[in-house]
Amino acid sequence: MSILVDKATRVVVQGITGREGSFHTEQMIAYGTRVVAGVVPGKGGTTHLDAPVFDTVAEAVSETGADAAFIIVPPPFAADAIMETAAAGIALAVCVTEGIPVHDMVRARAFVETTPTRLIGPNCPGVLTAGECKIGFIPNHVARPGRVGIVARSGTLTYEVIQGLSQAGFGQTTAVGIGGDPVLGLSFTEVLRLFAGDPATAAVVMVGEIGGSDEENAAEQVLAGGFDKPVVAFISGRTAPPGKRMGHAGAIISGNKGSAQSKVDALTAAGASIADTIEDVVRLTGERMGATAAR
């Protein structure tokens, strides 16, 4: 079992004919993802990578039954692409575009929240269910099927954690990269709740970073409320100076929340094990699950 995507997921790619869209769609297809359509305004009626291309998402959904969208379009058009996907009734939208103006994302998220669509991103690596489906950038070769769920803000750390777990023999159910922008779709809280309801996920690795209060909120609203699976957490950015933006647009500390220590304190109080390195993530995951059960 998985959360969000599996081998039956039917994906439409917005921006499929662009250089980046083509490359990452090819990688998704090579992984086994069912890419059933592309959307590029003005190119409807053509094909690309053996998929039919439509002018609108609504047309793609009507003709192919697509139920997930990969949005890889330039920042000025990304918010509208997200809203078009939600308006077409797509169940899951994954937007990897970075540099979307915050005001545009405020508008887009407000619209998405009026629909049943779940949004991952923007500025994220996407989602991967090991051995079944991926939407986004996560490298094809790092994951292996297993029982560990992963939710992370950092793309690079997502890959490193997956690879470290795989090399140690601990496979994954689903890895979700939620992104690090100030205005996002799914949060740590929402993804953790999905993992809580997945019987195949026996433990969760949570990779956070300084800035915002999403990790603290998840600790208080989900983990402290009786989350019945072991959680291993890693917080990056511990040496960043207060008040200075580091990396992601959301990685800025302000007030009493957002610092590495405030996140570590909240997660520790909620029962999570705190890792100082990726190697610690792997070791603690094995310890919390039991080495045999983790595989």
Edge-first strand order for the sheet with 118-120 is 47-48, 51-54, 34-39, 10-14, 68-71, 92-95, 118-120
Q: Is 248 a catalytic residue?
A: yes
Q: Which CATH superfamily is domain 10-120 in?
A: NAD(P)-binding Rossmann-like Domain (3.40.50.720)
pLDDT at 243: 58
Tens digit of pLDDT for each residue in 132-190? Answer: 999 999 999 999 999 999 999 988 999 999 999 999 999 999 999 999 898 999 999 99
Q: Predicted confidence band at 101 (pLDDT cuts at 50, 70, 90)?
A: very high
CATH of domain 126-294: 3.40.50.261
Say whether pLDDT at 213 is over 90.
Answer: no
pLDDT at 249: 47
Structure tokens that stand for 284 in this block: 């603690």
The DSSP 8-state label assigned to residue 33 in this structure reads -
Give the separation between CA 149 and CA 233, rounded to whole angstroms: 12
pLDDT at 292: 44
Looking at residue 137, its amino acid is F
Write down the domain spans for the chain. 10-120, 126-294
Tens digit of pLDDT for each residue in 48-67? Answer: 999 999 999 999 999 999 99
